[in-house]
Amino acid sequence: MIGLRSVVARAPGKINVSLEVGPPREDGYHSVATIYLAVNLFEDIRASERMDTEFTISLSPDSAPFADPETFPIGPENLVIRAAAELRAYTGVKAGADLEVTKRVPIAGGMGGGSADAAAALVACNALWETGLNREELAIVGARLGADVPFALYGGAAVGLGVGDQLSPLLLRNATHWVLVPASYGLSTPEVYRTLDKLRAEQDVEAPTNVDVDTVHALVAANVESLALNVRNDMEQAAIHLAPEIATVIATGEKLGAARGIVSGSGPTIAFLAEDKDHAEQLRTLINEELDVDALVVHGPANGAAVVHHHSAFRGN
C-alpha cells in the first residue's frame, strides 16, 4: 500500500552488572535484586499502518548476521506481536500493523533482546496509532509481557527488585565500557533458572531484598577497579553448568586484560569490563584473535525506548 504511515522505535539491550537470585516462589518465579545497565546495542521496530486489524511480522535484512530468517518466529508467540496486541487491548484502539524487526542484540543471550523488541514495539505502535500513553503507562503494559520490558522502556541504569520489574533509577556520572562476547548458541532462561535451583537444592537460599551498596557506588562513579571487585551474577554457575565453555571464555578474557568478566543475565553472552573506551577496543581485538569470535564494544548507560523516525505520507494510488 503506497503512502501509509510508519514509525521506527529503538530500544536498548542490557547487561546485569549485579544479579542476586532467591529461591523459587510459590508462583514459580524467583525474587531478584539486580542492577540493570542499558547499553548502546539497539533493537529497531518499524510499525507501518494497515487498513485492517491484522498484524504481520518480518525480520529486516539489516539485522545482525546471527538473526536467521529461517528460524525467526513469525507467529503470535513473538513478543513484538504480543506487545502490539497487548497495547491494542489496553487502549481499545481498532488497528493493526506491519511490524519489521531489526535485531542487533544476541538472541537468547541474556541481554534482554526480546524485551527490547517488546518495548520498541509498544513505543512504535503507541505513536503510529496515536494512543497517547506516557512512559509509565507503557511500562504497565510492558510488565505484562516480561519483567525486563519496563527497564527497556526507561533505559539508563536502575536497581530492579521483585521479579526485576520494581525499578529505582540510578543517575550515573560517567559511562562504563564493556566488550561483549556473544555465543553461537542461546540458553533458555527458564532452563538456567531450573538448573540454578538444582545446583542450590541443599543450600539455604534467602530471597534478596536489595542490591549491594558498594556495587551501586562503583557503577555510579564509574570506578572500574571497585566495580570489578563487586559485580556478581548468581545465574553464572548455572549457565556454566549448561555450557562449560563459558568458564574458558571468561578466563581467557581476564587473562587478556579485562578488569572482570561476567555472564550477562542468564547467559551465554559474556560482558568484559574495560578500563575505558580505548582499552575496550584493544581488548576486543585481542579477544577476537584469541577466540576467533566477533566481540562487540559497547558502553552504558544508553537511553530507553524512543521513536527515531516518523514517516507520514499522503495515501494515494
Q: Which residues are annotated as a binding site?
A: 106-116
> What is the rounded CA–CA span in Å between residue 236 and residue 246?
9
Please name the residues in contact with 46: beta carbons below 8 A apart, sequence gap of 6 or more. Answer: 6, 7, 8, 60, 99, 100, 102, 124
One-character DSSP codes across 46-92: EEEE-SSS-EEEEE-TTS-TT--TTT---STTSHHHHHHHHHHHHH-
Per the CB < 8 A criterion, the answer to whether 263 and 15 are in contact is no
Per the CB < 8 A criterion, the answer to whether 13 and 299 are in contact is no
Active-site residue identified among 44, 117, 148, 234: 148
The annotation places the binding site for ATP at 106-116
79-91 and 135-143 are packed helices; what angle lies between their axes, rounded to 10 degrees?
Answer: 120
- Look up 14 and say whether it is catalytic: yes
Please name the residues in contact with 219: beta carbons below 8 A apart, sequence gap of 6 or more. Answer: 17, 35, 37, 157, 170, 172, 176, 227
- Catalytic residue numbers, as ranges: 14, 148
